[in-house]
Structure 1
Amino acid sequence: MDQIDVNIFRSAMARLASAVTLVTTDGQAGRRGMAATAVTSITDEPPNLLVCVNKSARSNMMIKRNGVFSVNVLSKEQEILVGAFSGSSEADPFCEPELWSTLQTGAPILKGALTSLDCMLDQIVNIGTHSLFVGHVVGAQIGPASEGLVYFDRKFCGVGET
């Protein structure tokens, strides 16, 4: 069977609006974070979610070694953090400790995020260029209601009522 052209596939997927998150980890391998949109819930009993991370990303190896991660869902007001976690900034994204806390696993939780989900790594499935991390959610923090940040058609947009 023929494969679709990769550029057409990317353009098609750009039309799928996705919540913008910061996926963070901490442990023996160190502290690390990355901006991500490939995040979804799997089940609520037990509470599990899926995060897709490129195998070439340093965060991939660190999540595997640490065995924990958190998913922090960003508000429109937190868009500036995306640059700090995408490598486009020289600044240490964790340089302001008052912005961070932890729950059960020790993975960094962003104070003021729309929601943060603290996860133990449960399974890893490798497909193509990415690892699919299944996380068992062991803690959650619900932040203040605010306009959500989504990525749509290759740009950031606010969504929802403020």
Structure 2
Amino acid sequence: MDMTAFFTMSYGLYVVSATAGDERAGCVINTATQVTAEPPRLMVAVHKDNCTARVIREAGTFTVTAIDQTADMPYIGNFGFRTSDTYNKFEKYEVAESATGDAYSPEHACAVFACRLADTVDVSTHYLFIGDVVEAERLSDEPPLTYAYYHSTLKGKTPPKASSYQG
């Protein structure tokens, strides 16, 4: 199988976050998709071993921010290459609260979507979380950060827990 065929698939970069009690978690993902318009629903894929997956399941909500092209590698690394279990990812950046009560950072984000968890699908290494969007807002007119831009311009790497990782 030619695994490089998957490189032609179009992706964006997003931060998915959730808050359960005093615990806040978030991680960078490259798989977020609108799956229906009526009702408005999003689907995100999160690795089962991520702290964020556990917090989403506990909270029953999640918030997705679409990262924009103003993001730099320190921002992406902060949310993408550390674990919320041992590191406060929200400490260095502005924090807001979505309509579902989840913490998120509006910095370097062009849109935010607050979701109530509607369904969870186990797809081996990842969970697909399907959420009913209860609030959506454009945060800026900056273009969204695509995975192609992340690789070609920012020279970013794909971490092992990404849904598109190829070892």
TM-score, normalised to structure 2, is 0.80
Aligned to 1:104: 99
Distance 1:15 1:25, change over 3 A: same
Distance 1:118 1:49, change over 3 A: same
**Residue 110 (structure 2) pairs with residue 117 (structure 1):** no
Task: State the Cα distance separating 1:50 from its structure 2 match.
Answer: 0.3
Q: Distance in 1 between matches of 2:22 and 2:91?
A: 18
Q: Secondary structure at the match of 1:26?
A: strand
Q: Distance in 2 between matches of 1:92 and 1:41?
A: 29
Q: Give structure 2 stretches of 5+ with no counterpart.
A: 155-167
Task: State the Cα distance separating 1:86 from its structure 2 match.
Answer: 1.6
TM-score, normalised to structure 1, is 0.82
Equivalent pair of 1:21/1:74 in contact (CA under 8 Å): yes
Q: Give structure 1 stretches of 5+ with no counterpart.
A: none
Task: State the Cα distance separating 1:123 from its structure 2 match.
Answer: 0.3
Which of residues 66, 71, 75 is equivalent to 1:73? 66
> Partner amino acid for 2:102?
A
Equivalent pair of 1:17/1:153 in contact (CA under 8 Å): no
**Residue 73 (structure 2) pairs with residue 87 (structure 1):** no
Higher deviation after alignment, 34-43 or 146-155? 146-155
> Partner amino acid for 1:117?
F
Aligned to 2:52: 59
Aligned to 1:26: 19
Q: Which has the higher strand share?
A: 1
- How many pairs align? 150
